[in-house]
Copies of this chain bind each other. A is one copy, B any other.
Amino acid sequence: MLKGISCTLYFVFTLSPSAVSQTREFQADAQFVDKIYDYSLTEGRCYSWLEYLSLNVGHRLSGSAGAAKAVEWGKSMLDTLGLDSVWLQPCMVPHWVRGEKEQVKVIGSKKGRSFPMAALALGGSIPGKVQAEVVEIKSWDQLESLGAKGLKGKIVFFNRPMDPTKIRTFEAYGGCVDQRVGGASRAAKYGAVAVLVRSVTMRIDDYPHTGTMIYDSAYQKIPAAAISTLAAENLSKALKEDPELKVSMQLQCKSLPDAPSYNVIGEIRGSERPNDVILVGGHLDSWDVGHGAHDDGAGIVQCMDVLRVLKNLGYKPRHTIRCVMFMNEENGLRGGKAYAKEAERKGEYPLASIESDAGGFTPRGFSFEGDESVFGKFFDKLMTFEPLFEPYGLRFTKGGSGADISPLRGMKGLLSGYTPDSQRYFDYHHAETDTFDKVNKRELELGAASMAALVYLIDKYGL
């Protein structure tokens, strides 16, 4: 399969610059964009904010004490920026707790063939204690063809790895995360008693990667856990030598009643069109392991710095520029839904919504989407901005944006995803290893600068 964008699109990409780059306007914009990068790389605060969030707040799953502490911290930081308003937007969030450490063990049919496996219950899983034989599954077809006859009473082991030939790792993630999200119910349909899922990462190591899973109410709920890729390789090997082996697993996680929480919001009011909002956002919640440094502490602190940098450079926006720290992206999107509902109620127009939720790595570009009726016009306008990002190595593409802003889709604004380099993201994603030390200061700052520059251009020229 050929990777990458069509030649036609490439052609669109490559005609605009020369046109724009002639104008004096272009030179002025280039100078202000340059100022934004210079300031972000010398006076940026996002890295020290991330250090505090990582080391003093730590992970912050929706409903947890950490999440409450993060809300408090986020608001207190926005309060220091001299914005026009800062507020908390309430939403009820799921409250799932992991409980005692998971116990997952291979029990060989012959002596001395037993070994423990590094595992994490999937978010939303029911608790449970089971011991059963294991069936390794590499494809949905294989699952369907085995059916109840092959799966009843068994633990289903989903072991389809990420495709390493995908250059953008998010594509590879999209190609196998379905095992994690929907595997339990698809296996329960045929009477499976539990599922183990290979961690969704390309690294072979012993850190399990958790993430959300969703039960289909049509079927029995069964326990679901991720095992490390190393454990997955070992289990697969062990099954070939010893098809009768059993796995015993005990998960003590459970779902508690929904809990109150908040989106944290701050804005600089627009001087001409205050009702048209340019949003920069990420999510404040994280999984309950590591620091949630790349996912999505990085996005949060970058968005805070976007407002701080523009304000400190004396920029007075025409439209309202708003930073939104969404709550509950990881397991419910309640914050995103509450935000969209409120925007609709207030009759705001989400002119442009830019999400940073792909890690704090070196900027590679922005991805854009929008309502068909207007997107063509938007994208042509955006392409006139692209050459201004050339010195910083960013490209513009058509594609997805972000989960938290997806509930805004109906409102016909521009949606954009900030797209940093993706090679390392899934090494740490949803794992103990997503810690502050994995984030490079400059890479993080360059991302904040890139978003601030895009916000400036959209605010100045509209869409």
Give the dominant DSSP class at A's interface.
helix
Binds B, one of A10-18, A132-140, A211-219, A256-264: A10-18
A38 contacts the other chain (Cβ, under 8 Å)? yes
Contact across chains for A21 and B17 when beta carbons are under 8 A apart: no
Residues of chain A in range 207-237 having any CB-CB distance to chain B below 8 Å: none
Contact across chains for B42 and A164 when beta carbons are under 8 A apart: yes
A88 contacts the other chain (Cβ, under 8 Å)? no
Contacts A42-B165, A442-B164 given; indicate if A10 touches B5 (C-beta within 8 A). no
Partner of A30 from the list B2, B38, B391, B446 (CB cut-off 8 Å) is B2
Contact across chains for A2 and B17 when beta carbons are under 8 A apart: no
Partner of A37 from the list B30, B165, B364, B421 (CB cut-off 8 Å) is B165
Contact across chains for B22 and A17 when beta carbons are under 8 A apart: no
Contact across chains for A3 and B392 when beta carbons are under 8 A apart: yes
Cβ contacts under 8 Å, A15 to chain B: 14
Contact across chains for A7 and B21 when beta carbons are under 8 A apart: yes
Partner of A41 from the list B13, B34, B165 (CB cut-off 8 Å) is B165
Cβ contacts under 8 Å, A393 to chain B: 167, 364, 395
The interface size of chain A toward B, counting residues with CB under 8 Å, comes to 45
A427 contacts the other chain (Cβ, under 8 Å)? yes
Contact across chains for A38 and B165 when beta carbons are under 8 A apart: yes
Contact across chains for B443 and A3 when beta carbons are under 8 A apart: no
Contacts A3-B392, A387-B10 given; indicate if A37 touches B424 (C-beta within 8 A). no
Separation of A4 and B30 alpha carbons in the complex (Å): 10
Chain B's closest residue to A444 (CB) is B423
Closest 5 CB pairs of A and B: A4-B391, A14-B14, A7-B21, A3-B391, A38-B165
Which A residues have a C-beta under 8 Å from some C-beta of B? 1-5, 7, 10-11, 13-15, 17-18, 21-22, 30-31, 34, 37-38, 41-42, 164-165, 167, 169, 202-203, 362, 364, 387, 390-393, 395, 421, 423-424, 427, 440-443, 446
Given contacts A5-B390, A41-B165, A42-B164, 13 further A-B contacts (CB under 8 A): A1-B34, A2-B31, A3-B391, A4-B390, A10-B18, A10-B387, A11-B17, A38-B165, A202-B442, A362-B423, A364-B393, A423-B443, A427-B440
> What are 25 inter-chain pairs, A to B, with CB distance below 8 A?
A1-B34, A2-B30, A3-B34, A3-B37, A3-B391, A3-B392, A7-B387, A10-B17, A11-B17, A11-B18, A14-B17, A37-B165, A37-B167, A38-B165, A41-B164, A42-B164, A164-B442, A167-B391, A169-B442, A202-B441, A202-B442, A362-B423, A421-B421, A423-B440, A423-B443
